[in-house]
Structure 1
Amino acid sequence: MWLLQRVTAAFLVVVLAFHFFLLHFYHHAFEITLMGTQTRMQDVGYFATMWLFLVTATFHGVNGVYNALVNQGISGTPKTAVKAILGLAGLLLVAQGTRVALYMNGFLA
């Protein structure tokens, strides 16, 4: 998991740079609209990038919180409970994010 945490961090840095460039420098805040977002999400490459960003950020965050708690000494039943709760929270976040992304690209509209 250590290596995967580092790989996801590198991916997040690259995609976040893309996000900032596209939505904060190329387009300005006043130019960002719901319609424009829906148009961008209809592009398969953009949709895939944003969905991978969602999944990667969720894994990176959930795994980071779990590892921080393990490093603080959590063990036994609390460790198992935290793992289950964080795992469920991660799955729900990805499911809801996927639902929103599919709606934004017109697949669920």
Structure 2
Amino acid sequence: MAERYSSFNPGGTLWLLQRVTAAFLVAVLAFHFFLLHFVHHAYEVTFLGSQARMSSILYFSLMVLFLVTATFHGVNGIYNALINQGLTGTKRTVVKWTLVIASAVLIGNGLLTAIAWTDLIDIGIRGIFG
């Protein structure tokens, strides 16, 4: 029988974070599906409606947390799958830093998109200088 191997140390921090992020992603995806398929039907979803939802600080925060969590969960899973396939040495270091940079770019772009989709910045500027 084949021996089971995993780069995750059961009970370790990355092992725990992979499971916690999976549970969070399932809950947020269920919320998303319910909100955008039962509360608002597909034909009712508009850009202005999406902008209104994103302008709620609670919804905005949830979507940003979703972005960061999904990125971590996906990249951590890919990295550990590659380690399980035998990635070692310099290649492992190059892959790790490539994934870190790709994650930072993805999260940065996602944040810029999320911010552009709201009127939160305008409200904040008007509140300060208004």
* CA apart distance, 1:106: 2.1
Deviation track 1:58-103 (CA, whole Å, cap 9, x = no partner) reads 0000000000000000000100000000010001000000000000
Q: Which residue does the alignment assign to 2:95?
A: 82
Other structure's SS at 1:57 match: helix
Distance 1:68 1:27 in 2: 38
Matched AA of 2:44: E
* CA apart distance, 1:50: 0.5
Matched AA of 2:52: T
* CA apart distance, 1:25: 1.3
Structure 2 stretches lacking a partner, 5+ long: 1-13, 123-130
Choose from 66, 82, 92 the match for 1:53. Answer: 66
* CA apart distance, 1:42: 0.6
Distance 2:106 2:30 in 1: 22
Other structure's SS at 1:73 match: coil
TM-score by length of 1: 0.97
Distance 1:68 1:3 in 2: 16
Q: Give the count of matched residue pairs.
A: 109
Of Structure 1 and Structure 2, which has the larger fraction of its residues in helix? 1
The reply to whether residue 91 of structure 1 matches residue 104 of structure 2 is yes
**Aligned structure 1 segments of 4 or more residues deviating by more than 4 angstroms:** none
Structure 1 stretches lacking a partner, 5+ long: none
Choose from 15, 23, 36 the match for 1:2. Answer: 15
Choose from 14, 32, 42 the match for 2:45. Answer: 32
> CA RMSD of the aligned region, Å?
1.0
Matched AA of 2:37: H
